[in-house]
Amino acid sequence: MVIVGGGVHGLATAYYLARNHGITNVAVLEKSYIGSGGSGRNTAILRSNYLTPDGVRFYDRSLKLYERLAAELNYNVMFSRRGHLTLAHNDSSLRTMRWRAEVNKASGVDSEVIGPADIKKLVPFMDTSERARYPILGALYHPPGGIIRHDAVVWGYARAADAMGVHVHQDTELTGIDVEQGRVTGVRTSRGSIATRVVVNCTAGWSTLVANLAGVRLPVQTFPLQAAVTEPVRPFLDTVVVSGTLHVYVSQTDRGELVFGASVDPFASYSTRGTLEFVEGLAGHVLQLMPSLSTLRLLRQWAGLCDMTPDFAPIMGHTEVDGFLVDVGWGTYGFKAGPVAGETMAECVATGRTPELISAFGLRRFADGSLVGEKGAAAVGH
């Protein structure tokens, strides 16, 4: 079978196909180098403190897979479980934090609402005073959340899949999907053709274009999401900090750099260039949270592409074309879901049945009107 996209989703799918189902006659097609898309451009934050019980269950499985990934792949993916703070600057977001904490607790996930004094203890640089323009009223604290070395996840899956016989083809762009009488029969690439009965679309940014090759339309719009990194300084920030009101999330890597992300750009686009407006707004928001960081210098900015669906939930599983499966529409949270998406897609492909964990994410829901409800939590949630 053929997997399109050499990011964490495609490589994890290939890995679990080989490991869990013994299917190794698999080609992963990557038009650039592995991890060159969203997998290498995200801000590598992991968490499972979602809003709906289904979301919590799904991402908690992903977090558990991530936790044991290093040992399983014999490759240190440097999962740094350092705690995750989502700040509330007004009573309405505090109410949502309480709601999330209660849903999490009911699902056995460690989350609680903490007050400004406890926030200050966790992040001494934070302006928790009442003078702040958007005073911090509290936060959702999620100790199991953290960051990971995203490239290492990609490389670890690729190496392990390769060792079991999977072929990873870099610099190989998909140019066509052959469909006969509603069935996939093969693919064409910039480096030749492959006969296959199964094609799994694990792309982001180009998922609609790949699906079009099979004649499948996806309700997906592509938006850039920008990020930036500063020069390194000595460690001072141990937790991941997210502020929905200020549209920013911050963490400090083991190398000492601060990594910043935000919500998606307001307009659909395929551009991966950064904008000046973004870094200006970002810097202003970071300094509202931590005013003494004015002298810290921004080193690099970039953008990745996010495929947004109408209900902010992914599209997974079979399509109307027999043998053409999708694992797309991951919005801004695809990286967090890499392992669980790979595991469930592999099962879906290998058994022909849709695992219960992803049964709500089928493409048909947009025709049936049974949308998934994680929109409230996913809008700005990193």
Which among 227, 206, 281, 236 has a CA at the least distance from the CA of 82?
236
Residues 6+ apart with CB under 8 A from 356: none
371 touches another protein by CB under 8 A: yes
133 touches another protein by CB under 8 A: yes
196 touches another protein by CB under 8 A: no
Q: Which is nearer to another protein, 23 or 113 (CB)?
A: 113
From 92, 193, 212, 351, residue interacting with another protein (rule: CB under 8 A):
92
311 touches another protein by CB under 8 A: yes
64 touches another protein by CB under 8 A: no
Q: Which is nearer to another protein, 195 or 299 (CB)?
A: 299
Q: What is the Cα–Cα distance from 54 to 86, expressed in whole angstroms?
A: 20
Q: What is the Cα–Cα distance from 145 to 143, expressed in whole angstroms?
A: 6
What is the DSSP secondary structure assignment for residue 254, as one 8-state letter? T
Three-state DSSP class for residue 369: coil
In the region spanning residues 272 to 301, those forming contacts with another protein, defined by CB under 8 A, are 273-276, 279-280, 282-284, 286-288, 290-301
In the region spanning residues 314 to 353, those forming contacts with another protein, defined by CB under 8 A, are none
What is the DSSP secondary structure assignment for residue 182, as one 8-state letter? T
DSSP string, 33-70: STT-SHHHHS--EE----SSHHHHHHHHHHHHHHHTHH
In the region spanning residues 198 to 237, those forming contacts with another protein, defined by CB under 8 A, are 230-236
Provide, rounded to whole angstroms, the least separation between the CB of residue 327 and another protein.
Answer: 22
From 186, 219, 355, 376, residue interacting with another protein (rule: CB under 8 A):
376
56 and 103 Cβ atoms separated by less than 8 Å: yes
Q: Which is nearer to another protein, 167 or 375 (CB)?
A: 375
327 and 9 Cβ atoms separated by less than 8 Å: yes
Provide, rounded to whole angstroms, the least separation between the CB of residue 22 and another protein.
Answer: 24
369 touches another protein by CB under 8 A: yes
278 and 267 Cβ atoms separated by less than 8 Å: no
181 touches another protein by CB under 8 A: no
186 and 29 Cβ atoms separated by less than 8 Å: no
* Paired residues of 87 in beta bridges: 139, 243
155 touches another protein by CB under 8 A: yes
153 touches another protein by CB under 8 A: no
Three-state DSSP class for residue 162: helix
Provide, rounded to whole angstroms, the least separation between the CB of residue 7 and another protein.
Answer: 13
Retrieve residue 233's tokens: 């300084």
Size of the site for another protein (CB under 8 A): 93
CA dihedral 177, 310, 64, 101 (to 10 degrees): 180
From 20, 25, 74, 351, residue interacting with another protein (rule: CB under 8 A):
74
Q: What is the Cα–Cα distance from 185 to 182, expressed in whole angstroms?
A: 9
Provide, rounded to whole angstroms, the least separation between the CB of residue 182 and another protein.
Answer: 27
Three-state DSSP class for residue 290: coil
Q: Which is nearer to another protein, 185 or 275 (CB)?
A: 275
From 61, 64, 98, 188, residue interacting with another protein (rule: CB under 8 A):
98
Provide, rounded to whole angstroms, the least separation between the CB of residue 325 and another protein.
Answer: 25
Site string for another protein, 29-48 (x = CB under 8 A): ---xxxxx---x--------
166 touches another protein by CB under 8 A: no
167 touches another protein by CB under 8 A: no
Retrieve residue 92's tokens: 């309405």
Provide, rounded to whole angstroms, the least separation between the CB of residue 69 and another protein.
Answer: 10
